[in-house]
A and B are shown apart, each in its own frame.
Chain A
C-alpha cells in the first residue's frame, strides 16, 4: 500500500472547455473507478455499493471491494444528460413524481441494463452498505434496490445529531455496530479477513488528503478567491468523497491541487470557469444545497457572468466535514470512522447548519447566502426557509432562495432561475451601496 505512484498527468484535455489541471485529473480518477467497477467480475473482485455522506471507504478497501456510489452515478448521469430518460423509465415502473430523482435515476439506470455514466456496464453489487447518515430516503432507496438485486444489505445506524453535538454514547454505539455487524458481514461476503493495520494505513493517507483539501477550500478566504467553493469545489471533493479517500492517488491529487491553488493565490488570480479565467470578483456568496446537475454549466454561467463567486458552500461538505478540525485518526481507527459518520453535513441539525453558514459568512467575508432548494429532496428542503430567515437576522446579510432539482432536467427553469439570481445580485449591490451611504 505504500507503493508510490508517479505524479499524475492528464492526457484528456479537450479544447472547448477550460479547467484546472487538477480538474482534468479528477475526471480521470472518476472514470478509472468506473472501469474498475466494469471489470470487477473479470478481475474476480467483489462489489459494494454505499452512500456518499459519511462513507466508510477506507473500511471497504480493507476487504478489496470495488466501490460504487449510487448518488455519484446519478449525478454523473445527470451531467451527461442521461438522467432524464432514466427518471421517466423509473416513473413508468411505478415511482411517483415526488420521489428523490437520484433514486429514480438509479432505478432507471438499472432498467436500462446497468449501463453506467461512462457507457460501461456496471456490475450487480455483492453487498449494500447502508450507512444511514441523516437522509431518510437512503433507507427506502436500498430497500428498493435490495429487492431488485436480491443481495445482502448491512446497515450502520448513525444517530442524528439532534442536540448539535456528538455524545460519547453515540460514538460507542456506532463503533459497536462496526465491530459486531458491519465488519463481520463484510468479512463474510468478501472472504477477506479484517486487518486493522491496513485500515490505519488508509487513514494516514486520508488525513493527508483532508489537510490539503481544507487548505484548498479555505483559499477562498482570499480576495479575489482563487476557487469557486461550490461549482469548482464539486470537482475537488469528487475523489475524497467517493472511492478514493485513503488511496495514494487521492493524496497525490490533493497535494497537486493545493499547489495549483496556492500558485493562483500568489498570482492574485480568480477562479477558472469553463470559459476561462473569471472576470472581476463582484459578489462573494455562500450557497446551501446541492447544485443542479443537468444544467450545471448553464447554472454556473449565471454566476460567473455576473462576477459572482461562491466562496463557501455546505454542499462541499456533504461527504464529511473537515474544516472545523476533523481528520481521520489512524491511532483510533474505528472511533474516528464513527466520528466521521456522525459529523457529516447531512447528519447535522438545523441550528448547527445555521451556525455553520453564519460562520462561513463571517470568515469568508461573504455578501450573503443563496439557497438552492431541491424540489425532490424531502430530507433537506424542509427547514431551509427557516435557515434563510435566521441567517438574515443574525448576519444582516441578504439571502435568497431558488428552486431547481438534482438530476431531473424538467425542473430546471433557466429563465426563472436567472431572473431571481440577477435580482439577488442587484439586491446585494444595492444593499452594499446603501451601507456605504450611497443608494
Chain B
C-alpha cells in the first residue's frame, strides 16, 4: 500500500506520521532527537510505520470479528509483547557492546571484577524485563536509553556493592556503549519480533490461542503487505540533515499551518509553543500559510522557560501545570528573560508568596509573550488552534483562554491531544498533495 510520510526533526524529539491514500492517519512515531538526526529520522519513521501496522492489525481483526470484544486487550498485549521482544534484543546488544567497551577500558586489575559484575547486572536486567512491559506497568519513558539507563543505574549500584567493585567503572562502560546501541536501527527485526510477540500473546491470553488461525491469518497478511514509502517530506530544525532532496523539505511553519488545518479544518490562527520557539501562524481555508511571526533574538517564553523554572523549583516539568492550577492569587512575573524570571521567582518566594501563585504568574508570562507574537502576526481569528508541547500544560491553556477572552472575545480554542505531531502531520499531508495533486514521484527515497 502507498504511504505518505512526514518527519519533524525537533530540537528534543523527532516525530513521524504516516498517512494512507485517503489521508487517514495510519501511525505516529516519536523518538529522542539524540545528537544524530539521521538515526532519529529513521527511527521515528520506523516507529510510525510500526504503529501503522498495529492500526492495520486492529482494522483487519476488527473486520473479521475473530476477537469479538477482546480486540483491545489483544492488541494491547501484542504491543507490550512486541516492545518486550525489542527491548530484549537491544539489551543483548547493549551487553555485548558493554563487554567490548570493557576490553578497551583501562581499569587495570579491576577489569576481571567489573566483567563479572557486568554479567550479573545484565542477568538481572533480563530477569526484570518482562515486568517492565506488564499491563499497567509504569515506565519513565518509552525510549530505550531512558528505560535501560534507569534500570542499569539502580541494579548496577546494588551489584557493585555486593561484588565490591567500583560503581563508577560500571557507569563508565554504560556511558561509552549506550550511544552506539541507541544509534543502531533494528528495522530488519520487526517481523521476527512481531511473530515472537504473537506467540507470547497467545500464552498470555490463552482464550485467544483457541482462535489462533483466525487471528494469525489477517496479521500475517498485513505483515506481508508492503508499506511503500511513496513520498517523504521532512521538516523541523534538523531538516537540512535529512537525506532528502530539497523538494522533500518544507519549513516547519508551513507544516504546522497545514497540520493544524488537517486536525481542525476551520483553523484560521495557529499558536505553536515548542522548546525553543513560539510561532504564530495565520492560515487560509486550505491550510496555506498567509503570514507568520516568530520570537526573535530570544527564546524566553518558550517551552525551555518552563524547563528552566522546573529545574529551579526542583520539580518535574509535568508537575508545574497542576501546581499552578491551585493558584488563588495573581502574581506578576516578567516574561522578557528566562534567567531573570528565575531570580524573580526566588524573590517572590522570599516575600512569602505561595508557590502555586508564582507558578500561575509564570504561565501567564509565557502566554503574554505569545499574545504579543500573535498580535504581530495579525491577531487571533476564529478558530484558534494551539499546538506544541506547552499545549499539554493545563495552566498555560487556562492563561491562554483568559487572555484570548479578554482581548478577542469568545473564540473556539482547539487543542488536540496529539498536537506534538502537528508538524509531522503537515509534512505527511504535503507528501500526499505532492503525489496526488502535483503528480510528483519520489526522486530520492531514503533507506
Kindly state whether residue A265 has any CB partner on chain B within 8 Å. no
B292 touches A423 (CB 8 A): yes
Contact (Cβ within 8 A) A422 B438? no
Answer whether A413 and B376 are a contact pair too, CB < 8 Å, given A400-B291, A423-B253, A423-B254.
Answer: no
> B392 → chain A, closest Cβ, in Å?
24
Contact with B along A379-411 (1 / 0, CB 8 A): 000000100010010000011111100000001
Is B297 an interface position by the 8 A CB rule? yes
* Distance to closest chain B CB from A396 (angstroms): 10
The reply to whether the CB of B402 lies closer than 8 angstroms to some CB of chain A is no
Determine if A419 is an interface residue (Cβ-Cβ < 8 Å): yes
Instruction: Choose one: B251, B252, B288, B294; the contact of A434 (CB below 8 Å).
Output: B288
B293 lies within 8 A of A401 (CB): yes
Most A-side CB within 10 Å, residue of B289, B376, B433: B289
Assess whether A434 is in contact with B286, with CB atoms less than 8 Å apart. Answer: yes
Decide if A434 touches B291 in the complex (CB within 8 Å).
no
B266 shortest CB reach to chain A, Å: 17
The answer, yes or no, to whether B290 is at the interface (CB within 8 Å) is: yes
> Which of A23-31, A46-54, A316-324, A424-432 lies at the binding interface?
A424-432
CB of B62 within 8 A of chain A?
no
- What residues of chain A lie closer than 8 Å to B376, measured between beta carbons? 385, 401
A399 to B282 alpha-carbon distance, docked (Å):
12
Complex contacts, B251 vs chain A, CB 8 Å: 419, 422-423, 426-427
Complex CA gap A375/B293 in Å reads: 16
16 pairs from A and B in contact (CB 8 Å cutoff) = A375-B297, A398-B290, A400-B292, A416-B296, A423-B254, A423-B289, A426-B250, A427-B288, A427-B291, A427-B292, A430-B254, A430-B288, A431-B290, A434-B288, A438-B438, A439-B433
Question: Is the CB–CB distance between A420 and B294 below 8 Å?
Answer: yes
B288: chain A residues within 8 A (beta carbon): 427, 430-431, 434, 439
Do A427 and B437 touch across chains, with their CB atoms under 8 A apart? Answer: no
State A439–B288 Cα separation when bound (angstroms).
8
Mark out the residues of chain B between 426 and 447 whose CB falls within 8 Å of any chain A CB in the assembled complex: 433, 437-438
Tally of A-B residue pairs with Cβ under 8 A? 56
Which of A402, A416, A420, A430 is packed against the most chain B CB atoms within 10 Å? A430
Contact A403 B292, beta carbon cutoff 8 Å: no
Q: Which chain B residues border A385 with CB–CB below 8 Å?
A: 376
Do the beta carbons of B254 and A426 come within 8 Å of each other?
A: yes
Q: Which of B237, B252, B253, B297 contacts A427 (CB 8 A)?
A: B253
Apart from A426-B250, A430-B289, A438-B437, what 4 extra A-B contacts exist at CB < 8 Å? A403-B297, A416-B294, A419-B237, A426-B251
Within 8 Å CB of B290, what residues of A?
398, 427, 431
B interface, CB within 8 angstroms of A: 237, 250-254, 284, 286-294, 296-297, 376, 378, 433, 437-438
- Chain A residue nearest in CB terms to B295: A416
In angstroms, Cα B295 to Cα A420, docked, is 11
A399 touches B291 (CB 8 A): yes
Give the chain B neighbours of A430 by CB distance below 8 A.
254, 288-289
Residues in B whose Cβ lies below 8 Å from that of A398: 290-291
Min CB–CB distance B160 → chain A (angstroms):
44
- Chain A hits for B253, CB < 8 A: 423, 426-427
Bound Cα distance A430, B376 (Å) = 22
Taken together as a complex, chains A and B put the C-alpha atoms of A379 and B237 apart, in Å, by 34
Cα–Cα, bound, A439→B438 (Å): 8
CA distance A399 to B290 in the complex (A): 8
Assembled-state Cα–Cα distance A423/B253 (Å): 6
Instruction: Please measure, in the bound complex, the distance between the C-alpha atom of A392 and the C-alpha atom of B287, giving whole angstroms.
Output: 18
Beyond A392-B291, A426-B251, whether A403 also contacts B286 by CB under 8 A is no
Residue of A nearest to B378 (CB): A389
Bound-state Cα–Cα, A426 to B430, Å: 12
Residues of chain B within 8 A (CB-CB) of A375 are: 297
Alpha-carbon gap, A403 to B298, bound state (A): 12
Give the residues in chain A near B284, CB-CB below 8 Å: 434
> Which residues of chain B come closer than 8 Å to A416, judged between CB atoms?
294, 296
Chain B residues near A426 (CB, 8 Å)? 250-251, 253-254
A265 → chain B, closest Cβ, in Å? Answer: 29
How many angstroms from the CA of A400 to the CA of B293 in the assembled complex?
Answer: 8
Q: Which residues of A contact B286 (CB under 8 A)?
A: 434, 439
Name the A residues within 8 Å of B237 (CB-CB).
419
Contact A427 B254 (CB under 8 A): yes
Contacting residues, chain B, for A400 (C-beta < 8 A): 291-292
Are A413 and B292 in contact, CB atoms less than 8 angstroms apart?
no
- Taken together as a complex, chains A and B put the C-alpha atoms of A427 and B294 apart, in Å, by 15
7 closest residue pairs by CB, A with B: A423-B251, A423-B253, A427-B289, A403-B296, A430-B288, A434-B288, A422-B251
A426 to chain B, nearest CB (A): 5
Residues of B within 8 A of A389 (CB): 378
Smallest Cβ distance from A288 to chain B, in angstroms? 15
In the complex, which residue of chain B has the Cβ closest to the Cβ of A422? B251
Q: Which residues of B contact A427 (CB under 8 A)?
A: 251, 253-254, 288-292
CA–CA, A326 to B376, complex, Å?
36
List the A residue with the shortest CB-CB distance to B253.
A423
Q: How far is the CA of A98 from the CA of B253 in the complex (A)?
A: 30
State in angstroms the CA–CA spacing of A423 and B252 once bound together: 8
B293 to chain A, nearest CB (A): 7
Taking CB atoms, residues of chain B closer than 8 Å to A411 are: 297
Shortest C-beta distance, A402 to chain B (Å), equals 8
Which residues from A are CB-within-8-Å of B378?
389
Chain A, residue nearest B285 (CB) = A434
Q: Smallest Cβ distance from A30 to chain B, in angstroms?
A: 32
Alpha-carbon distance between A389 and B297 when the two chains are bound, in angstroms: 22
Which residue of chain A has the shortest Cβ distance to B256 in the bound complex? A423
Residue of B whose beta carbon sits closest to that of A392? B291
CA distance A439 to B437 in the complex (A): 7
Best-buried of B251, B286, B437 by chain A (most CB within 10 Å): B251
Q: CA–CA, A438 to B438, complex, Å?
A: 8
Bound form: Cα–Cα A419–B237 in Å: 8
When chains A and B are docked, how far (Å) is the Cα of A392 from the Cα of B282? 13
Q: Which residue of A lies closest to B429 (CB)?
A: A439
Chain A residues with Cβ below 8 Å from B291 are 392, 398-400, 427
Closest to A435 in B: B288
User: How far is A419 from B296 in the complex, measured between Cα atoms in Å?
Assistant: 12
Task: Determine how close the nearest CB of chain B comes to the CB of A372; give it in whole angstroms.
Answer: 12
Q: Nearest chain B CB to A3's CB is how many angstroms away?
A: 52
Q: How far is the CB of B291 from chain A (nearest CB, A)?
A: 7
Q: Give the docked Cα–Cα distance between A431 and B288 (Å).
A: 7
How many Å lie between the Cα of A438 and that of B286 in the bound state?
10
Assembly CA distance A401 to B295 (angstroms) = 11
A209 to B37, CA, bound (A): 54
Residues of B within 8 A of A431 (CB): 288-290
Closest chain B CB from A301 CB (angstroms)? 14
Task: Tell me the complex Cα distance, A426–B284, Å.
Answer: 15
Contacts of A402 in B (CB 8 A): 296
Task: Please give the distance in Å from A233's CB to the nearest CB on chain B.
Answer: 26
CA–CA, A437 and B248, complex, Å: 21
B240 to chain A, nearest CB (A): 9
Most buried by A among B237, B252, B287, B292: B292
B209 to nearest A CB, angstroms? 49
- Nearest opposing residue in chain B for A429, CB measure: B254
- With a cutoff of 8 Å between Cβ atoms, the chain B residues found around residue A438 in the complex are 437-438
- For residue A373, which residue of chain B has the nearest CB? B296
**B contact residues around A422 at 8 Å (CB):** 251
- Complex Cα spacing A419 to B292, Å: 12
Interface mask (A333-350 → B, CB under 8 Å = 1, otherwise 0): 000000000000000000
- For A396, the closest partner residue in chain B by CB is B290
Give the CA-CA distance A242 to B430 in the complex, in Å. Answer: 49
**Chain A's nearest CB lies how many Å from the CB of B339?**
17
Q: Which residue of B lies closest to A430 (CB)?
A: B288
Residues of A within 8 A of B297 (CB): 375, 403, 411, 413
Mask of A241-272 contacts with B, CB within 8 angstroms, 1/0: 00000000000000000000000000000000
Cα distance A21–B414 when bound, in Å? 58
Q: Complex: how many Å from CA A413 to CA B237?
A: 14
